[in-house]
Structure 1
């Protein structure tokens, strides 16, 4: 084992964007629904995909099964062990000790941040999803002219909770990023609120999404933005992060902006991280979906021009504890191979490679979110 692999294998990761895991035993149909960002279609199992194959290859041994165990054997053994033991094994295998948990999407019964961290004796922090705050304000009832002030107050209350370290927006799902970058006027916000509150539904008005992003700036915490790959609510061509360029110019010198996931726009995200002081990125979610075999290729594109202090680790694990294991494995393997190749080619010294691995795995996130420990 080389020094880089040994260092990354030994390092506890800081997962700067993740979710809870399910607290129930899952029948096959529910497991398959969580295995994919798409649907479960007749005759096509999500197990027959790169992520499904990776689960059977890399997760089966943690359930005391052979590599590539048949699907039925895998699910039977999972049920035999029970969800508590399954979650413990996979979270422990990820060797992650700090979790920044997005609590804004919980259609299933998921672990709380504290429950997630307690599974492995780690630490948990919360990421507040601002669309959820806005939709809660609307659900309680608010006059259009009062919406901006009430939303701002609710957002400030939410980020004032103990353990909150960041906010998040899913504007990529609701409108995309090809928005007017300017802060909307009070009259524009009131009129947009009037339309939205009358129509109901999710927050998807472009003016109110702009207002939400600017409210995030005012809150002063790091802002996480979903970019690229996700479920079919996204219009992929509209969530290219390059659309954020003018907004990033306007918000220079304010808050860190964390671009999450990014595939297939990891190169555009890398460009933004290279030219804007406040921009950082990860390729979480992507890594467990492409699997350990292709993780290095995605990381290589993300790191072509990204300053090494700008790359963070995340799993974006949701629902299935397997994703914590796979995300960490793919990150470690991909980054190890990439750094080792550069050391072998004499493009990096070994001390530099070890420093970059330490930064990406934990220290960069600790610095951006002002978490305890080395940064």
Structure 2
């Protein structure tokens, strides 16, 4: 009997084109709950009582040898008993992800390096350089305002020459939003903005200098990942609708791939941009493990309403908790598999086309964009047998 699309996706090695490392220390309840949410842990309200908290207890508990829906206390006790190394190994291998593109620019917790993440998962890892970190390091190192622009670009060029770097990322969404002047800032504009920012240093929030970073990314020539939509309460959500980037995308047409990350609740707007701009691609990472497998199909259906099939990528945006690597992969496989299988059943899509689309989104699109090697032959890893 031929495998269903869901079965094919369950066996497909994934390329996670945007994620972070996992915590290497033991996590107490407060620390674990803080990682469960993009918000805050409020008195009397547990992040376990959210869609993602329920998903952890439902889908992750069996990997810890617990029954589905195990109580939070039992879950955390078993996690502590196993220890972080074993917990991370179980979830990372069970995710069935072969390649990780790791954003190394956000480290409020001690995290695995890209290489450590890959070793725990039995895969390969590459680095994504966060441009705001580069700019802030230049400022912290001491530079004159009239030298800042060139120094920032030189530092970015040096950063992307590190072995294994495949892309850059900007968190302009957090710093200014996207309703910026789309034009490349003039040299004197950069100097004047640097004159105001450098004495205080810290987080880069000056609109002219953020624009300078976005145009520096264009000059670097690597794919640019942009956080859009859903994030913590630093975000002003109405300012991170990716359609604010329309004029900038016109100006940068024909230069670099632009990867719109996460997107929710703007997955339809991101789909529009992917449909009308050759250089635009998208994922719905982060969103999928927060809505859980039960709603992943609905989010993916909206993202794929008009998106060309070569424009959708998989990411987990997992940070800190290895559980999110598993949940992101599981939600993506189940959501996309159900969506494609339904279209095959309705004769809106042939089975070969559905399998091709699944392979593209699961890894081939990312391999093409980032210049990653093709997957090697070999048996499916044991972790694909999800203990349920």
TM superposition score normalised by structure 1: 0.99
1:121 is displaced (CA, Å) by: 1.8
- Structure-2 separation of matches of 1:76 and 1:65: 11
SS of corresponding position for 2:155: helix
**1:269-348 alignment runs, 5 A limit:** 269-348=270-349
- Structure-2 separation of matches of 1:165 and 1:355: 24
For 2:250, the equivalent position in structure 1 comes to 249
- Structure-2 separation of matches of 1:119 and 1:200: 37
**1:1-375 alignment runs, 5 A limit:** 2-373=3-374
For 2:384, the equivalent position in structure 1 comes to none
- Structure-1 separation of matches of 2:251 and 2:201: 31
Tell me if the contact between 2:178 and 2:244 (Cα under 8 Å) persists in the aligned partners.
Answer: yes
1:120 is displaced (CA, Å) by: 2.0
- Structure-2 separation of matches of 1:113 and 1:152: 24
- Structure-2 separation of matches of 1:43 and 1:121: 40
- Structure-1 separation of matches of 2:139 and 2:214: 17
SS of corresponding position for 2:310: coil
- Structure-1 separation of matches of 2:121 and 2:310: 27
SS of corresponding position for 2:199: helix
CA offset digits 1:77-115 (Å, max 9, x no partner): 000000000000000110001000000011111000000
- Structure-1 separation of matches of 2:358 and 2:249: 28
Tell me if the contact between 1:177 and 1:243 (Cα under 8 Å) persists in the aligned partners.
Answer: yes
Tell me if the contact between 2:136 and 2:201 (Cα under 8 Å) persists in the aligned partners.
Answer: no
SS of corresponding position for 2:259: strand
SS of corresponding position for 1:151: helix
1:2 is displaced (CA, Å) by: 4.5
CA offset digits 1:113-161 (Å, max 9, x no partner): 0000001221100000000000000011110000001000000000000
1:328 is displaced (CA, Å) by: 0.2
- Structure-1 separation of matches of 2:182 and 2:176: 13
Tell me if the contact between 1:363 and 1:374 (Cα under 8 Å) persists in the aligned partners.
Answer: no
SS of corresponding position for 2:311: coil
1:173 is displaced (CA, Å) by: 0.2
- Structure-2 separation of matches of 1:57 and 1:121: 25
- Structure-1 separation of matches of 2:202 and 2:371: 35
Tell me if the contact between 2:314 and 2:361 (Cα under 8 Å) persists in the aligned partners.
Answer: yes
- Structure-1 separation of matches of 2:260 and 2:353: 25
1:201 is displaced (CA, Å) by: 2.3
Tell me if the contact between 1:366 and 1:374 (Cα under 8 Å) persists in the aligned partners.
Answer: no
1:199 is displaced (CA, Å) by: 2.9
Tell me if the contact between 1:17 and 1:315 (Cα under 8 Å) persists in the aligned partners.
Answer: yes
- Structure-2 separation of matches of 1:255 and 1:301: 25
SS of corresponding position for 1:29: helix
- Structure-2 separation of matches of 1:121 and 1:62: 17
1:260 is displaced (CA, Å) by: 0.1
Tell me if the contact between 1:32 and 1:40 (Cα under 8 Å) persists in the aligned partners.
Answer: yes
SS of corresponding position for 1:23: coil
Structure 2 unpaired stretches of 5+ = 377-388
1:198 is displaced (CA, Å) by: 2.2
1:200 is displaced (CA, Å) by: 2.4
CA offset digits 1:293-334 (Å, max 9, x no partner): 000000000000000000000000000000000000000000
Equivalenced residue count is: 375
